[in-house]
Amino acid sequence: MSDRPLLIVILAAGKGTRMKSALPKVLHKVAGRSMLAHVMALSADLGAARIAVVVGPEMANVRAEVHALAPDAAIYEQTEQRGTGDAVLAAREAIAGHSGDVLVLYADTPLTRAASLIAMRRSLDVAEGVCVLGFDAADPTGYGRLLTSADGSLLAIREHKDASPDELDVTLCNSGVMGFRVADLAGLLDRIGNDNAKGEYYLTDAVEIARGAGLRASVVTCGEDEVLGVNSRDQLAVAEAIWQRRARARAMAEGVTMVAPETVFLSYDTTFGRDVVLEPNVFFGPGVAIADDVLIRANCYLEGHDQKSRAGLTIGKGTSIGPFARLRPGTTLGEDVHVGNFVEVKNASLEDGAKANHLTYVGDARVGAGANIGAGTIFCNYDGYNKNRCDVGAGVFIGSNSALVAPVSIGDGAYVAAGSTITRDVAAGALGIERAEQTEKPEWAANYRFRMEKPKGG
């Protein structure tokens, strides 16, 4: 493929009224990140020298997303919705100042693969001109048709509303993704008119204009799923399902066992080591990294990033999670750690060999190597205003139904007696115990039952 520099223009100005949302369409998420972020990540993977994003008016949150993802990206505004040709020309400054290839992508099409776009650039290596990414549609209704010659070169793109009956029989359709290797692309796009059923400036008209100027036009094809455009909530769900299916297949090919793959949901950045086993109904939010030989039992929820924190979540080799466990941002589990049923861990580290097997909350804490946290233990980390930390040393044994009121430290090898509420530090090797003295009232139970069961009025 040519070493010519690449400019990618991402069209993100659509209002997405069919989404019925206050959030711009392109910020709706697939696999834990916005559709716009998927397309911008793809642009970075392709080695784009420059990225230009075209937004609509009053899209401050889209602008903010672009700056967060790629601070050097240029942002341009399409003030009126006058078609794709007009949208691309909103980035005229970037186009006119670029010498190399140009790809036009769509921020509501998050499933496009890098391989297809690389193939488009290779097609442009044959001769200067235009390349279109096409697909064979199961139902071509509504799509622009790709009209080709006997040798397979592209003659024109005809929008559905402007197509003749014969052209409507064509199933090779336009995805909207286009590539250009044209000396004066802005000048070529300026020649696009709006003499069509919608009165809009179609980027697709660039094909016939380029051919009229003696340039070549070609088609690269891909699967229909790859160029799914998302315009509604149901299409967003379809895109999510496609992405998840791909990600599961990739994970299993790389050494992950999924007992029921269709019930496992991954994030865009989930990473696995080898010989990981996932039981049914496991959900991964963003920011989770898992080492080799980890077992995650059924019905667990793991996330390293949420609205408040991007602290991440890492799970060490040989660790066992669940069933019914929740791991939250800032969690670090060492090797051979056990986190069992109905255990929640947040912003805490459990070092090698530590165990919290039942009905426990561990928050804002360090749990040392080999420590055992008994059932029903609560790390009381929040006083209503501030978060405070607990430090539990190596080899500590915390008895069941204990409460550790932060800030507090339990020294190496110490014991905390079951049912204790610990508010002061416990020295290494000591027993910490805090209980009211047990008393006993003889015959109380029998007398109580007698009073309660005595017939009324007797």
Catalytic positions, written as ranges: 358
- Judge if the upstream peptide bond of residue 323 is cis by omega within 30 degrees of 0: yes
> Cα torsion for 33, 44, 220, 29, to the nearest 10°?
10
User: Distance between terminal CA atoms of the chain?
Assistant: 100
Tokens of 287: 């920011």
Helix residue ranges per DSSP H, 112-218: 114-126, 165-168, 185-190, 206-212
User: Tokens 């993802």, residue?
Assistant: 69
Q: Report how far apart, in Å, the C-alpha atoms of 455 and of each of 428, 445, 447, 458 are.
A: 58, 18, 14, 5
Q: Which residues pair with 313 in a beta bridge?
A: 288, 331
How far apart, in whole angstroms, are the C-alpha atoms of residue 181 and residue 312? 42
Distance CA(36)–CA(18), nearest Å, equals 17
The Cα 410–Cα 397 span in angstroms is: 10
Instruction: Collapse the DSSP code of 241 into the 3-class scheme (helix H, G, I; strand E, B; otherwise coil) and give the result.
Output: helix
136 Cβ contact partners less than 8 Å away, ≥ 6 residues apart: 171, 172, 173, 221, 224
- For strands 172-181 and 101-106, give the pairing: antiparallel
* Residue 16 near residue 108 (C-beta atoms within 8 A): yes
